[in-house]
Structure 1
Amino acid sequence: MTLLLLAGTGEARAIAVALQGRDVIASLAGVTREPEPLAVPVRQGGFGGETEFRAFLAEAGIHAVLDATHPYAARITARSAAVCAALGVPFCQVLRPAWVPEAGDLWTEIATEADAAAHIPLGATVFLGTGRQSLPGFANLAGRRVICRQIDPPEGPFPFAGGEFLVGRPPFSVADETALFRRLGVDWLVVKNAGGQASATKLTAARALGIPVLMLARPAPGDWHRVETVTAALDWVGRCG
């Protein structure tokens, strides 16, 4: 069996390690310029669309697709699931549980990036932990100091007034995040509900500092098979053959 692993998360890296020596091809969409290496052969760059994805599955002789992309890679997941369903190719999404607030958290859930402006006053310092791809959706935050952290150095100026980029590659410890938020004078934290322990450190730091958090809601789950853990994903692969 040849497995296509749609990668880009810590779960995908762990799955790749567990499947070393098996017939596996990992795919990275190319969002990060220099991604961390994986333990299986990697195809770099997106497929280009549904037609191209169908063609790749056929040409590469893919028998099953395991989607371990980011929880907010909704279009990739939906397209992959739909194509696999049409072709009769087994498909499974690895979707880690969402974060839930703890005592002391000051969270407000928002549906879209544009909703953030209704909660954050002018003049506030805003830390965006949502990644550069979602940055255009926050354009109505002009009038605040907006700091967007991203892995790669920016290729151009900030897209709206009052913003700045901060380059940093995870993981970040709680101590790192706490010191950073204090140094920057962060008033608001905006994040996606990605779930997982690795990126939760910024939430722990915000809780300790009393910083309110705007939590961008997850995309609605689709009607396809999904599991929450690496162990369950490997079990699914084993059942596929």
Structure 2
Amino acid sequence: MEGSFRTTCGAILCVLLCTCVSPTANSDVYQDYSTEPNGSHPAVFDSGQTAILTYTPNEAARPTIYGGRSIITYNGPGRGAGYATAQLGATASYVEADWNLGSGGTTSGALALGLYATAIPSGYLGDTLTPDSPAHVVFLDDHFEYGVWQNHGLAVIANVPYGRRFTTETQHVAVYVDKAAGQAWVLGPTGAVYGPFTHPQIKDVTAPYVTVEQFYGNASTDTRVEIQRWRASSDPVNPPMPRQ
């Protein structure tokens, strides 16, 4: 299997995989797409939770599997996005992913890792309002943006360049949220950790839903986003020491 999740800055990201229990009893979610056959996205994640799948503007944007990656096949003009959501047993404290950009395209697609107070509904997204969120972190080829959702509005509280541009190589990224302290950190694909970021929503929002999103501002021209694997947990995980 390509690249297990790595030790970062000396901190081991502990995995507690829960099996044979109901989704609401799990405190961890895990999915490795590299082991999945081409076709539909699994109805249940590797860790046992139901996979809530959402798409816009049509079903071609529903997450699917090809070549051991989660992708969305919509390539029409304008916005396109596919979402895979899991419910944890308590508020999420971290989420991490291995992903890459495909070849081709003139602008970057984006991976977003989001923690939400309520679930994004399955099926067509339509005009669904975005739930409150303490962390909505968008990763592009050369920077990330940290945002929070409050009353259906997005506030971007950090826009951080990497100092380089990524092409097709694997990017390992993570978001750490300390709800009690009202602080959050982001692990960028260069290995640098940024933060702490602060905002009242980080402390105030209980977020038991975790989403990985593939987003295209213009799906006809954006480089494709391919998710290899991802993991999230409600168990506290200390972020590595920030180095920017």
TM-score, normalised via structure 2 length: 0.27
Compare the two structures and name the one with the higher strand fraction.
2
Larger RCO, structures 1/2 (Cα 8 Å, 6+ apart): 2
Greater radius of gyration (CA): 1
Compare the two structures and name the one with the higher helix fraction.
1
TM-score, normalised via structure 1 length: 0.27
